[in-house]
């Protein structure tokens, strides 16, 4: 039984280079652990400072309002959290429209089919959750097909252009024009409409277009701000075309990495090929000398 299983594994994985797979896996795990370590060092201390600041505010509030106990503060905190999740504002004893306006709902639909999933808003009704499942079931494949078509149109370049020029044009124009359209211009718009800094706007652009979607920064979702009607629709359009551009750029990066890997493999195989070629030349020379010797013996007359 064990020999059968071992033979089956050899047939399945015999064509794969296990050392290369193990090395790649170790590199992947090391990269993830490195990222976790850096985030832990950068964000852990800031979280401790935030916890200390919140505790100071709580103690100060209880001192200023001695008639308010801890239970009342907890209830107020729960109401504030629930209002924030619903996109409502309690400032000035008023509320806004909440998350589920037409524009913000359209942006939410775009985040569903693009699998960004910010997490700041989600359907709470039973019918809304059921519709979201079927909407994503058909919308995600449709989104993939349309994005692939957009990428093909982006890559389409006349046939008379040389191959080397194609690569230069694709990488140069995609990087420069795409960076301006999908990062620089949105950075200015988000900074003006959301009140974010430039670094926060760039951070939001990349987290959104790469479909990471943390949800810590979300456009058209601040209940304390009044947005123009075109803002949500324009954000949805930016998300769609920005996804296609960034996916194209990532594909080019993958091609570059695969080319570098193939180059190193070729250099590694050259000494082996050189050794085989020298052995082949030696055997050919030996066969040539043997053939000449046999021919000479045939030409010598018998005594």
Q: What is the pLDDT of residues 197-253, one digit of tens each?
A: 999 999 999 999 988 888 889 988 887 788 888 888 889 889 988 988 888 888 777
Unique residue bearing structure tokens 């308010």: 68
Number of H helices and E strands in the chain, helices first, is 9, 0
| Residue range 271-295: mean pLDDT, rounded | 51
Residue 157: both structure tokens together: 């370049």
Q: How far apart are the first and last CA of the chain?
A: 71
Return mean pLDDT, the chain: 75
pLDDT at 189 over 90: yes
Q: How far apart are CA 163 and CA 253, in angstroms?
A: 17
Q: For residue 147, what pLDDT is reported?
A: 82
Cβ-based burial of 234 (10 A; exposed 0-12, middle 13-18, buried ≥19)? middle
pLDDT at 302 over 80: no
Whether the CB-CB separation of 85 and 221 falls below 8 Å is answered with no
Enter the DSSP assignment of 123: -
Q: What does the radius of gyration of the chain's CA atoms come to, in whole angstroms?
A: 32
Unique residue bearing structure tokens 């998300």: 239
% of the chain exceeding 70 in pLDDT: 69
Whether the CB-CB separation of 194 and 186 falls below 8 Å is answered with no
| Residues sharing a CB contact under 8 Å with residue 266, sequence separation 6 or more, in sequence order | none
Unique residue bearing structure tokens 């995609």: 174
| Residue range 162-180: mean pLDDT, rounded | 74
**pTM for the structure as a whole:** 0.65
Closest CA to 208 of 238, 234, 171, 179: 238
Unique residue bearing structure tokens 């995600």: 140
Q: How far apart are CA 239 and CA 208, in angstroms?
A: 7
Residues in the chain: 303
| Residues sharing a CB contact under 8 Å with residue 251, sequence separation 6 or more, in sequence order | 151
Q: For residue 130, what pLDDT is reported?
A: 92
Q: Which residues of 16-49 are buried (b: 16+ CB within 10 A; e: fewer)?
A: eeeeeeeeeeeeeeeeeeeeeeeeeeeeeeeeee
What are the residue ranges of helices labelled H in 156-228?
163-179, 185-194, 198-209
Other Cβ atoms closer than 10 A to 143: 19
Q: For residue 9, what pLDDT is reported?
A: 47
Unique residue bearing structure tokens 């195989």: 269
Q: How far apart are CA 285 and CA 113, in angstroms?
A: 67
77-86, 151-160, 255-264: range with lowest mean pLDDT: 151-160
């Amino acid at each position: 039984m064990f020999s059968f299983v071992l033979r089956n594994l050899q047939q399945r994985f015999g064509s794969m280079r296990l050392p290369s797979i193990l090395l790649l896996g170790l590199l992947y795990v090391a990269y993830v652990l490195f990222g976790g370590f850096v985030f832990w060092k950068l964000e852990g201390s800031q979280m401790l400072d935030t916890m200390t600041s919140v505790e100071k505010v709580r103690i100060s509030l209880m001192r200023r309002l001695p008639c308010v106990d801890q239970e009342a503060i907890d209830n107020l905190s729960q109401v504030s959290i629930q209002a924030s999740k619903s996109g409502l504002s309690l400032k000035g004893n008023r509320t806004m429209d909440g998350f589920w306006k037409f524009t913000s709902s359209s942006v939410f639909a775009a985040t569903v089919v693009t699998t960004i999933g910010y997490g700041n808003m989600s359907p709470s009704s039973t019918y809304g959750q059921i519709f979201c499942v079927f909407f994503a079931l058909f919308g995600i494949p449709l989104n993939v097909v349309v994005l692939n078509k957009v990428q093909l149109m982006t890559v389409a370049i006349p046939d008379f252009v040389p191959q080397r020029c194609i690569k230069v044009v694709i990488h140069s124009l995609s990087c420069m024009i795409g960076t301006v359209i999908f990062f620089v211009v949105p950075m200015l718009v988000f900074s003006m409409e959301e009140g974010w800094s430039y670094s926060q706007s760039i951070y939001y652009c990349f987290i959104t277009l790469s479909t990471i979607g943390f949800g810590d920064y979300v456009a058209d979702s601040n209940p304390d701000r009044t947005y123009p009607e075109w803002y949500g629709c324009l954000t949805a359009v930016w998300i769609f075309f920005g996804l296609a551009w960034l996916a194209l750029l990532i594909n080019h990066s993958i091609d570059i990495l695969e080319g570098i890997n193939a180059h190193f493999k070729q250099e590694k195989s050259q000494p082996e090929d050189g050794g085989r070629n020298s052995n082949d030349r030696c055997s050919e020379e030996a066969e040539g000398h043997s053939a000449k010797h046999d021919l000479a013996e045939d030409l010598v007359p018998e005594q």
